[in-house]
């Protein structure tokens, strides 16, 4: 690879997933030169959407960041932005019942690999995004203390992506760090994008020519289909249904009230998770159609562009994992634009 000039706003993306973070960085004016993720389906999807990026399919623990810096031809201090979102399953409040504590703890430690890369590159700026619960974990305290010890000014906040152009409620922890003073967070928008704004103009399922939109799974059980049809349109909940029409497992049970609920056209969507195409996992029914949202609708509610490729090689639910675990590109773009502006101001003063 040719040596990358220091003036070209180079960024690298750790734990890149299917590329939501990279897309937001590119939209903010950064050139993403290198990325890494160990999941083959994520990397397959990433490469189709970002063919110009050198992406490694490997466990980050097997990499020496000094070797990555040499591969990119960057001197210490030349990288503009180190960014990423370590796996957050171990910190999320939405843990799966079959999650292994041993695996969770090992994944939690991946947060600390930011320190290894920060020491090797000494980038001008750092952005880390994760679930809010990370802020209460000892690893986050170690991360912040380590960055501070290296001369970085760190700031972190828990923000709602709905206030930054993303048509869904999604509370996320975001950390910004720089050696040249505090980086301001993006200014929240006054108006929120709604479900209607994001998916209201899509063609009918089965008639779009888009595999992510046309792939639909009809509930096998007639009683589930009847339940879905009975839920009131535009934000309706199963609680509005006569108890005799409820599924047997829901009768007399008040927990998880959002399951089999409909989204509302003129509100933001709930948090898009890996269960986003399964109405038994949350409020994931279409506002008026008698079905769960499609994969394309889920991706649009995450603020991906309509043409963004998501691999279906492992089926619908694996694709939903990619979408639900992604960073919303628009949320990234707005904060990365603030980082870009900060770096330009500091260059001007230099």
Residue 57: which CATH number? Answer: 3.40.50.150
- Are 68 and 153 contained in the same domain? yes
Integer Cα distance of 110 and 139 in angstroms? 9
Catalytic residue among 88, 249, 276, 289: 88
Kindly state the average pLDDT of the residues 317-321.
Answer: 97
**Lowest-confidence range among 185-189, 294-298, 344-348?**
344-348
246, pLDDT greater than 60: no
Closest CA to 83 of 53, 45, 104, 62: 53
The pLDDT, as a whole number, for residue 100 is: 46
Kindly state the average pLDDT of the residues 238-242.
Answer: 69
The pLDDT, as a whole number, for residue 248 is: 52
- Are 231 and 283 contained in the same domain? yes
CB distance 21 to 4 below 8 Å: no
Helix locations, 122-183, DSSP H: 138-149
Q: Which residues are CB-neighbours of 146 under 8 A, at least 6 positions away?
A: 115, 118
Torsion, Cα of 186, 163, 35, 132 (10° steps): 100
Angle at 273 between CA 126 and CA 117, to 5 degrees: 20
Residue 1 lies in a domain: no
- Are 96 and 211 contained in the same domain? no
Distances from the Cα of 293 to the Cα of 20, 187, 282, 283, angstroms: 20, 30, 11, 10
| pLDDT cut 90: percent of the chain above it | 77
Top-confidence residue, 80 or 248? 80
Q: Which residues are CB-neighbours of 100 under 8 A, at least 6 positions away?
A: none
Residue 312 burial (CB count, 10 A): 16
Residue 208 lies in a domain: yes
- Which residue has tokens 């694996």? 318
The pLDDT, as a whole number, for residue 218 is: 72
Integer Cα distance of 166 and 269 in angstroms? 9
- Are 242 and 311 contained in the same domain? yes
Integer Cα distance of 255 and 189 in angstroms? 33
Average pLDDT, the chain: 89
The pLDDT, as a whole number, for residue 109 is: 86
66, pLDDT greater than 80: yes
| pLDDT cut 70: percent of the chain above it | 86
Residue 204 lies in a domain: yes
- Are 47 and 168 contained in the same domain? yes
Q: Find the domain containing 240 and state its range.
A: 195-325
- Are 152 and 50 contained in the same domain? yes
Q: Is 85 annotated in the active site? A: no
- Are 108 and 124 contained in the same domain? yes
- Are 106 and 180 contained in the same domain? yes
Question: What are the tens digits of pLDDT across the range 151-173?
Answer: 999 999 999 999 999 999 999 99
CB distance 309 to 211 below 8 Å: no
- Are 174 and 221 contained in the same domain? no
Quick one: pLDDT band at residue 5, thresholds 50, 70, 90? very low
- Are 206 and 277 contained in the same domain? yes
Residue 135 sits at φ, ψ, to 5 deg, of -60, -25
Closest CA to 26 of 236, 239, 337: 337
User: Could you give the number of structural domains in the chain?
Assistant: 2
- Are 28 and 75 contained in the same domain? yes
Question: What are the tens digits of pLDDT across the range 68-97?
Answer: 999 999 999 999 999 999 986 655 554 444
Residue 305 lies in a domain: yes
Residue 293: which CATH number? Answer: 3.90.120
3-state secondary structure of 167: coil
Q: Enter the DSSP assignment of 178.
A: E
Residue 319 lies in a domain: yes
**Lowest-confidence range among 40-54, 179-193, 244-258, 282-296?**
244-258
- Are 156 and 249 contained in the same domain? no
Residue 10 lies in a domain: yes
Q: Which residues are CB-neighbours of 66 under 8 A, at least 6 positions away?
A: 120
């Amino acid at each position: 690879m040719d040596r990358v000039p220091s003036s070209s706003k180079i960024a690298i993306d750790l734990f890149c997933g299917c590329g939501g973070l990279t897309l937001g960085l590119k939209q903010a004016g950064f050139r993403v030169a290198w990325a890494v993720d160990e999941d083959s389906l994520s990397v397959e999807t990433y490469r189709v959407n970002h063919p110009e990026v050198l992406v490694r399919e490997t466990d980050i623990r097997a990499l020496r960041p000094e070797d990555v810096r040499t591969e990119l031809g960057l001197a210490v201090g030349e990288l503009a932005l180190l960014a990423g979102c370590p796996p957050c399953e171990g910190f999320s409040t939405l843990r799966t019942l079959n999650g292994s504590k041993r695996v969770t703890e090992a994944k939690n430690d991946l947060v600390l690999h930011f320190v290894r890369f920060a020491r090797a590159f000494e980038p001008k700026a750092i952005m880390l995004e994760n679930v809010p619960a990370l802020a209460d974990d000892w690893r986050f305290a170690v991360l912040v203390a380590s960055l501070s010890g290296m001369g970085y000014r760190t700031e972190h906040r828990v923000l709602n992506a709905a206030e930054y152009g993303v048509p869904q409620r999604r509370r996320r922890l975001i950390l910004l760090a720089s050696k040249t003073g505090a980086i301001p967070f993006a200014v929240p928008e006054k108006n929120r994008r709604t479900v209607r704004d994001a998916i209201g103009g899509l063609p009918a399922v089965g008639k779009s020519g888009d595999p992510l939109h046309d792939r639909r799974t009809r509930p096998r059980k007639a009683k589930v289909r009847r339940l879905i049809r009975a839920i009131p349109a535009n934000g309706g909940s199963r609680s509005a249904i006569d108890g005799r029409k409820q599924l047997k497992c829901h009768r007399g049970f008040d927990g998880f009230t959002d399951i089999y609920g409909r989204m509302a056209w003129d509100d933001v969507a709930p948090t898009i998770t890996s269960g986003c195409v399964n109405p038994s996992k949350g409020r994931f029914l279409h506002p008026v159609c008698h079905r769960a949202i499609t994969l394309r609708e889920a991706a649009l509610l995450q603020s991906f562009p309509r043409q963004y490729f998501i691999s279906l090689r492992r089926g619908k639910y694996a694709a939903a994992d990619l979408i639900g675990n992604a960073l919303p590109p628009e949320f990234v773009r707005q904060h990365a634009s603030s980082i870009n502006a900060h770096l330009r101001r500091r260059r001007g003063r230099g």
